[in-house]
Amino acid sequence: MKAVVIQGPNLNMLGIREQNIYGPMKLEDIHTQMEAFGKEHNLEMEFFQSNLEGEIVDKIQECLGEAEGIIINAGAYTHTSIAIADAIRAVQIPTIEVHISNIYAREEYRHKSMIAPYCAGQITGFGPFSYHLAMVSMTQILSEVQAMQEQQAAAESEDKN
């Protein structure tokens, strides 16, 4: 199984920008930890970061037929992008929304997520550990999906006999 991690604007600046909010960990370090967790749980990982909304939409669409899950930190686009929300809704792939900071403890305009209604869940405010929690959640979701698919296949096989 494969999960794609999509990182939005300014996340390439982790470890440099606003360490009082986002901490000192760099994006590459977060991805290294996620990769290790994925290997332990037979989950292939792909990582993508863009500061451009259209590229993020394109990447979500490319996941269709290529990945079983998406973990996304859409950054500031979380609060503004109907296009990213529509893309998540369109592909119908289990998606987990992640935020390093607690968006509900920040400025009022960050309290609304355009993408949350189309995600399986949202993890916010645990620093870089938010990504680990997303990985645990994704492995659980994908194992449940796989079990359901196996049950359906078994039922179809019984119906043929």
CATH, residue 114: 3.40.50.9100
Q: Per the structure, how many domains does the chain have?
A: 1
Strand, helix or coil at 96? Answer: strand
Cα separation values, 127 from 23, 42, 60, 69, Å: 7, 25, 24, 21
Indicate the pTM of the whole model.
0.91
Task: Give the residue numbers annotated as catalytic, written as ranges.
Answer: 22, 99
pLDDT at 146: 87
pLDDT at 152: 86
Q: How many residues does the chain have?
A: 161
Give helix 129-160 / helix 27-40 axis angle, nearest 10°: 30
**Structural domain for 58, as ranges:** 2-160
pLDDT at 161: 66
List all residues 6 or more positions away from 123 whose beta carbon is below 8 Å from its beta carbon. 96, 97, 98, 99, 130, 133, 134, 137
pLDDT at 33: 96
List all residues 6 or more positions away from 131 whose beta carbon is below 8 Å from its beta carbon. 5, 30, 33, 34, 71, 98
Q: Which residues of the chain have pLDDT under 70?
A: 161
pLDDT at 70: 98
